Amino acid sequence: MNTVSMAPVSTLETQALLARHRITPHDLELVRISGAQLLPRLAEYVEQFYAWLQQEPEFGQYFHDEPRLRHVQNMQVEYWKRFFTGDVDDAYVKQRRHVGEVHARIGLSVAAYFAAMDISLAVLTDMLLPSETRYETSRAITRLVHLDTAVVTVAYNQLTNEKLAGQSQALAEMSTPVTSVAEDVLMLPVVGLIDSRRAQEILSSVLGRIAETRARVFIIDISGVSVVDTAVANHLIKLTRATRLMGCKALLSGLSPAIAQTIIELGIDVSAIDTHATLRDALEEALRLVGVKLVRSRHE
């Protein structure tokens, strides 16, 4: 009785990838058969590929020393060996995702990766021996290359977006430096524009610090805010109400004459906010509220 070798069973996600790229079991069988022709000639492929790559700007940037070049070439050979097994399972997809993550970490552009896969596909399909199934085999290889490219690109974009999100979070935290200026007193100087997203970041940061320190008074200084309109005023009112619910009184300082006039012209009701012209005035009020009295020293 003849036995048929079966590829590892894939999960629904991997099966969905195969379906999306219209890769059938017959296509994978053709890829496996083509491997018998192409794997012994991978050294020829590497030679042609790097003859092309040496003309690209990325070559000098990423492959400037011989040991690194040899390592990358060996990894590339292993990549295609795995490709021509035709076994697209979860481990296969995971390995392709790893490739995308590596490219994102080293900063290799998606455009450079696309160009490299395109030249690889051209070189490998040109190396196929003439046969009745040459066109069909070439099409099967192309479809699997497209699946690889999609998986790598998605992983690349996900990691890049995570890095950008982390950087944005770090910048947000730097732009909302809630500091303790005295016992039970917190202060936040705000500089620049306040949009809905930043207002939410400020609110989260402030409430978190109030919960952490159990502060009784919070000062928000807007002397560095360039524009105060209805939306900004509403954000400040919301912040004041939220801090009050946590048992903390909010003081607003830094209202310039121009901002005060704008608020009046817009008809914005800021009666719920305890406002002060200067940070010094707000700080003195905050210290009074927590029972701290400032005494001016006299030098004889």
Render pLDDT for 105-151 as a digit per residue (tens, 0 to 9).
888 888 989 999 999 999 999 999 899 999 999 999 999 999 999 99
- The CATH number covering residue 122 comes to 1.10.490.10
What is the pLDDT at residue 10?
65
Distance of CA 298 to the CA centre of its chain: 56
Last residue of a domain, one of 152, 170, 188: 170
Same domain, residue pair 158 and 273: no
Same domain, residue pair 81 and 188: no
What's the count of helices (H) and strands (E) in the chain, helices before strands? 12, 5
Report whether pLDDT(172) > 50.
yes
Q: Is 81 helix (H, G, I), strand (E, B) or coil?
A: helix
Q: Is residue 295 part of a domain?
A: no
Count of domains observed in the chain: 2
Last residue of a domain, one of 143, 170, 197: 170
Distance of CA 85 to the CA centre of its chain: 33
What is the pLDDT at residue 291?
87
Report whether pLDDT(299) > 80.
no
Q: Are 236 and 220 contacting, i.e. CB atoms less than 8 angstroms apart? A: yes
What is the pLDDT at residue 6?
42
CA–CA distance, 32 with 49 (Å, rounded to integer) = 22
Last residue of a domain, one of 170, 203, 226: 170
Residue 5 binned pLDDT confidence (cut-offs 50, 70, 90): very low
84-106 tens-digit pLDDT: 999 999 999 999 999 998 888 88
Same domain, residue pair 112 and 259: no
Same domain, residue pair 30 and 58: yes
48-62, 133-147, 216-230, 265-279 — most confident range:
133-147
Q: What is the mean pLDDT of residues 214-237?
A: 84
Report whether pLDDT(167) > 60.
no
Q: What is the mean pLDDT of residues 281-300?
A: 78
Q: Are 127 and 48 contacting, i.e. CB atoms less than 8 angstroms apart? A: no
What is the pLDDT at residue 1?
36
Q: Is residue 297 part of a domain?
A: no
Span of 51-55, 95-99, 159-163 with lowest mean pLDDT? 159-163
Query: What percent of the chain shows pLDDT beyond 90?
Result: 47
Query: What percent of the chain shows pLDDT beyond 70?
Result: 90
What is the pLDDT at residue 176?
62
Same domain, residue pair 51 and 183: no
47-56, 60-69, 116-125 — most confident range:
116-125
Q: Is 198 left (phi over 0), alpha (psi -120 to 50) or beta?
A: alpha
What is the pLDDT at residue 4?
37
What is the pLDDT at residue 30?
96
Same domain, residue pair 118 and 19: yes
Same domain, residue pair 162 and 38: yes
Q: Is residue 294 part of a domain?
A: no
**pTM of the predicted structure, to 2 decimals:** 0.58
Same domain, residue pair 87 and 128: yes
Q: Is residue 282 part of a domain?
A: yes
Q: Is residue 2 part of a domain?
A: no
Which positions ≥6 away from 28 have C-beta within 8 Å?
7, 86, 87, 88, 140, 144
Between 57 and 16, where is the model more confident? 16
- The CATH number covering residue 255 comes to 3.30.750.24
Sequence-separated contacts (24+) of 176-182 with Cβ below 8 Å: 176/201, 176/202, 176/205, 176/206, 178/205, 178/206, 178/209, 180/213, 180/215, 181/219, 181/283, 181/286, 182/286, 182/287, 182/290, 182/292
Same domain, residue pair 38 and 187: no
Q: Is residue 3 part of a domain?
A: no
Expressed as residue numbers, the domain containing 279 is 179-289
Q: Is residue 210 part of a domain?
A: yes
Q: What is the mean pLDDT of residues 253-263?
A: 80
Same domain, residue pair 55 and 103: yes
